[in-house]
Amino acid sequence: MIQTFRDAWKIPEIRRKLLFTLLMLVVYRLGSHIPVPFMNNEAIQQLFQSQQGGILSFMDLMSGGNVSSFSIFAANIYPYITASIVIQLLTIAIPSLEALSKEGEVGRKKIAKYTRYLAVALAAVQAIGYTFGIFRMAVTTTNMFQNLVIILSVVAGTALLVWIGEQITEKGIGNGISLIIFAGIVARFPRDIYASILKAAAGQVSWAWVVVFLVLAVAIVFFVVALNEGQRRIPVQYAKRVVGRKMYGGQSTHIPIKVLMSGVMPIIFAQTIMSIPSIIVMMSDPNSGAAKFITNWFTPQGDVGIVIYSILMMILIVFFTYFYTAIQFNTVEYSKNLQQNGGFIPGIRAGRSTSDYLNRTVNRLVFPGAIALAFLAIIPEVLTKFTGMHFSFGGTSLIIVVGVILETARVLEQQLLMRHYKGFLK
């Protein structure tokens, strides 16, 4: 792998792309230290301490610490991701958008423009929720104009991140949006490691738990890699056909069906729904009877809530895994495309039989992936509850980190193979 990076660095074009990608990520990290005006950072830190291990900690982890510092990137890139998901779902439901998606490059640019507009609108909604909801106790404004400055700062930060992500995708190496999320999560790892060591040195937690966490982190990395790379290859044979004086087809190929086709999206969807009780508590009086009931029964901070939360979280992850996989892999359309191109699965009739076979195969393959994804998601919450340490090296964070590394490695591998360099793949 080291030799592959050396070979890539020797190629001027790839070297420029790598430097551009690193420069854009540096700009992102520098922007993470620009605070939003009219916000009391001490009040925000007190709120985080009172909600340690809750939804705010998760939001802060996924944003690279931008929420706890309330920088201009407090909303991060997630309004754009949410907008992309919404547009993708609407493309299936609205015929005009579906037709637009089939118009090639022109249609893709229009859909990308709609996604940006929706992302800005969602960022504005999130900024308003921060200003007048979750962080209302930290706002030090005296008039509506100053509130507007806070909202516009957060929205402008999201818009800048969208631009940075698109620039990395176009002129750099890898997917820009994924790399921004990756950089934010990785930036938190040294801080969490240092905090864990300090807790162990102060006697707040046992050193044995630190060792267990490190071993478990390595095991999760291997497990996530296997989960991301696991797939079943369904053989496909194309019939020979003569067109004019030439013969086409006759080759054999396969359909790669991944175990974790949906990626991390089911966790994000499930986490969003399960965060509603915590958000209700934060936006109300925490000492009220209703707030205490919700905290004890429906949040990870409660003794009973951690069990109910874990069970509901697993059910939602399994549901959304099947839901998102069905959106991504349409077995009916895939079967039609195979039949139109003269392809068939050996031993399976073309048409509906192929669609049913693919559907059964996907359902059987997705189930263990969904269960594994659910366990990875709840491990950090359970360990944080029963050990007192903030375990951020598992679940969503590691799935994203490992997935982005593998994706970027593939992109670099393709760049090298185009120039006949020996890369990662053997």
Domains of the chain: 1-204 (1.10.3370.10), 206-394 (1.10.3370.10)
Looking at residue 241, what is its pLDDT? 61
Q: Provide the residue-wise pLDDT of the chain in tens; the chain has 426 residues.
A: 566 677 777 888 888 999 999 999 999 999 999 999 999 888 888 877 766 555 677 677 777 788 888 999 998 888 888 888 788 778 877 888 888 877 877 888 888 899 999 999 999 998 998 888 778 888 998 889 999 999 999 999 999 999 999 999 899 988 888 889 888 888 877 777 777 778 778 777 777 777 777 787 787 778 878 877 788 888 888 776 656 666 555 677 788 888 887 777 787 778 777 777 777 776 666 677 777 787 778 777 777 777 888 888 889 889 888 888 887 787 888 888 887 777 788 888 888 888 888 888 888 888 888 888 888 777 767 776 666 555 555 556 777 788 788 778 778 877 777 766 544 444
Q: Which residues of 150-179 are buried (b: 16+ CB within 10 A; e: fewer)?
A: bbebbbebbbebbebbebbbeebbbbbbbb
Greatest distance between any 2 Cα atoms in the chain:
82
The Cα–Cα gap between 190 and 192 comes to 6
Close Cβ partners of 406 (under 8 Å, ≥ 6 residues apart): 225, 228, 229
As to burial, measured by CB atoms within 10 angstroms (0-12 exposed, 13-18 middle, 19+ buried), residue 391 is buried
* Whole-number pLDDT of residue 155: 95
Task: Tell how far CA 157 is from the center of its chain.
Answer: 19
Predicted pLDDT at 4: 65
The confidence score (pLDDT) of residue 394 equals 53
3-state SS class at 356: helix
Q: What's the CA gap between 55 and 271, in Å, rounded? A: 9
Q: How far is CA 251 from CA 84, 234, 315, in A?
A: 37, 14, 42
What is the rounded distance in angstroms from the CA atom of residue 79 to the CA atom of residue 122? 6
Q: What is the pLDDT of residue 51?
A: 62
CB atoms within 10 A of CB 142: 9
pTM for the full predicted model: 0.77
Place of tokens 């958000």: 279
What pLDDT sits at residue 240? Answer: 65
Using CA atoms in the order 156, 158, 162, 163, what is the torsion angle rounded to 10 degrees?
A: 30
- With vertex at residue 267, the alpha carbon angle to CA 56 and CA 107, rounded to the nearest 5 degrees, is 105
Q: Tell me how far apart the alpha carbons of residues 403 and 175 are, in angstroms, rounded to a whole number.
A: 11
CA distance 170 to 319: 34
Q: What's the full length of the chain, in residues?
A: 426
Predicted confidence at residue 392, as pLDDT, reads: 53
Residues 163 and 172: their CA atoms lie apart, in Å, by: 13
Measure CA of the first residue to CA of the last residue in the chain; give whole Å. 11
Starting at the edge strand found earlier in the chain, the sheet holding 231-238 runs 252-258, 231-238, 343-344
The burial class, CB within 10 Å (0-12 / 13-18 / 19+), for 252 is: exposed
- Could you tell me the sign of the dihedral formed by the alpha carbons of 182, 14, 115, 30, in that order? positive
